[in-house]
Structure 1
């Protein structure tokens, strides 16, 4: 973990996954102040909103934090410029392969680039393209997910890449014991989202947090693709009426696609907007029946509100005990 901590500039190499509406100034600063690495979820923010959010986060912490940018964002290069203005040290690119010139644009500012690698081949390609570190995230994670479990990705990718490169593992991690296992396999650190979503400093609605406390792993289900012609990245969330509404939204968009009213790009954008709105309803408004309560399968290990610093301390204590026991 020393390699990962040195790369991030933190006490521990525990990153917080970028969760839209949740990973904002308060939680990000609390995680960084607690010895971890907070990451602002830019999501669909405009450059102006990101500018404000970075400045507000800097007012709450003097420690390093990163910014997560979605590769399909229409203003990606303007957002990179905002990160450069604030001298953000680490930019995480998520949501697909980085568009041409984006990695170079970030590195020109002096920042480090972290990319998600869904396969070994893509991991190698991203490293050749200039990525400074990789995150491998399994399907147990919350939010947008890939098809392969964390344990399988770790077995495929860590032996090949972890010795000479920085690789963080994410998806389904809820205890320090599991962190220890991935460190022993060669990971330089980990990323957790679900465990931090209900931190004391998280602005998520009390009803959103209560749903986490009541849930078990089997309640966090992946969304189903209704129409094979409409490529939809699955999203893992707690089952509710919103899950049914997404199926209806897919049928609606597929029909418009059939009619020629919209093209594929617009169809995918409408799906993304659905998720952004549904997530906001749950996180901010507390509508946990109709909104999207995105959660990973480690949700069953989240039992109560705790300060972010305490969560990190507990994870590290468990990790150290596990390693000492071996």
Structure 2
């Protein structure tokens, strides 16, 4: 007889109790577990998304800068790999947001996740009228309430521990601020989550489920370059730091990433650009663009090409909990078992 994929299964009573805590989130997603895959550009594509959904979690395609035709191809390719539900993450600032929403609807995507800002009411209305469930990111309680009034069917609250573009508040604080007050729609927590015990704690606080990104980068099915995965496996929580801004006159959108030669060179680039501005060699608007364009294409260089010295290694602080490459189903089952074991221990 083959050995179980994940040994030391928790008691059936604990798994049933965990199912009960996850019931609202799992029902909303249509998945076995209330665990969403965080949408990571160049990583959250057909292979990882389908693998997560097949494993009982809920995969989410990262549309990023894709055009509608390209997104349609990715949706169809994902549907060929899984019969399970999955979602699509759309950036609200995309110039063809309305067309992207329609592309999702045309291909029967059941969940549309709006990220990167407050989605326009027209996009929410179109998604809902087309039969999709709308998920929005809420960085504060007042905005969470506004989004629910605007039609959001569920919310994600993402703390500053997350990878990529981040807000200023930790998940620990956001959860205390928002979870007790938003009960009429499911609220998923995100940012710095890498183990099942943490998922359980937030479920007990009232979360409907959790979203994890960094933990899934090193899934076997992830197409991330071997160099990119090795950087995550070697990385510690203290290595994933937000972008440093040198001058408040030239704002830098904070991005949490593993430090490398590129991040150090970005500081030099900012300093030199600011020097040129002060010397009258470049206008302020042009200087701001030079700073903003430094990282153009940097994430693709790291994820796809494997240039981990000059590319962007966007990672959450949970990167320290990534220790090896594993199949997605094994990672998901580990998270579930950790949560159930913790629940069994608490209940004696």
**TM above 0.5, one fold?**
yes
Superposed, 1:230-245 pairs within 5 Å as 230-245=250-265
Superposed, 1:35-54 pairs within 5 Å as 35-54=56-75
Which residue of 222, 237, 240 maps to 2:242? Answer: 222
Q: Given that residues 257 and 263 in structure 1 are in contact (C-alpha distance below 8 angstroms), is that contact kept between their aligned partners in structure 2?
A: no
Is 1:83 the counterpart of 2:107 in the alignment?
no
Which residue of 1 is the match for residue 164 of structure 2? 143
Q: Given that residues 24 and 186 in structure 2 are in contact (C-alpha distance below 8 angstroms), is that contact kept between their aligned partners in structure 1?
A: yes
Report the Cα distance in structure 2 between the residues aligned to 1:51 and 1:231, rounded to whole angstroms: 35
Tell me the SS of whatever aligns to 1:160. Answer: coil
Which residue of 2 is the match for residue 259 of structure 1? 283
Is 1:171 the counterpart of 2:191 in the alignment?
yes
Is 1:316 the counterpart of 2:340 in the alignment?
no
Which residue of 2 is the match for residue 34 of structure 1? 55
Tell me the SS of whatever aligns to 1:237. Answer: strand
Q: CA deviation at 1:100?
A: 3.8
What whole-Å deviation, never above 9, does each CA across 1:220-261 have from its counterpart, x for those lacking one?
011012332344321000000111233355567775996166
* Unpaired stretches in structure 1, ≥5 consecutive residues: none
Is 1:66 the counterpart of 2:87 in the alignment?
yes
Q: CA deviation at 1:99?
A: 2.3
Which residue of 291, 298, 302 maps to 2:318? Answer: 298
Q: CA deviation at 1:105?
A: 1.4
Q: Given that residues 136 and 155 in structure 2 are in contact (C-alpha distance below 8 angstroms), is that contact kept between their aligned partners in structure 1?
A: yes
1:296–1:122 distance in 2 versus 1, CA, 3 Å: same
Which residue of 2, 5, 9 maps to 2:30? Answer: 9
Number of residue pairs the alignment of both structures matches: 321
What whole-Å deviation, never above 9, does each CA across 1:89-114 have from its counterpart, x for those lacking one?
00000001112411111111110110
1:263–1:90 distance in 2 versus 1, CA, 3 Å: farther
Larger radius of gyration: 2
Is 1:180 the counterpart of 2:204 in the alignment?
no
Tell me the SS of whatever aligns to 1:101. Answer: helix
Is 1:284 the counterpart of 2:308 in the alignment?
no
1:263–1:93 distance in 2 versus 1, CA, 3 Å: farther
Tell me the SS of whatever aligns to 2:199. Answer: helix
Superposed, 1:61-210 pairs within 5 Å as 61-161=82-182, 163-210=183-230
Tell me the SS of whatever aligns to 2:244. Answer: coil
TM-score between the two structures when normalised by the length of structure 1: 0.94
1:63–1:226 distance in 2 versus 1, CA, 3 Å: same
Tell me the SS of whatever aligns to 2:155. Answer: strand
Please report the RMSD computed on the Cα atoms of aligned residues, expressed in angstroms.
2.0
Q: Given that residues 121 and 150 in structure 2 are in contact (C-alpha distance below 8 angstroms), is that contact kept between their aligned partners in structure 1?
A: no
Report the Cα distance in structure 2 between the residues aligned to 1:117 and 1:242, rounded to whole angstroms: 31
Comparing 225-234 and 84-93, the one that deviates more: 225-234
Report the Cα distance in structure 1 between the residues aligned to 2:281 and 2:185, rounded to whole angstroms: 43
What whole-Å deviation, never above 9, does each CA across 1:169-224 have from its counterpart, x for those lacking one?
00000100000000000000000000001100000011111111111100001101
Report the Cα distance in structure 1 between the residues aligned to 2:110 and 2:272, rounded to whole angstroms: 42
Report the Cα distance in structure 1 between the residues aligned to 2:231 and 2:113, rounded to whole angstroms: 29
Q: CA deviation at 1:87?
A: 1.0
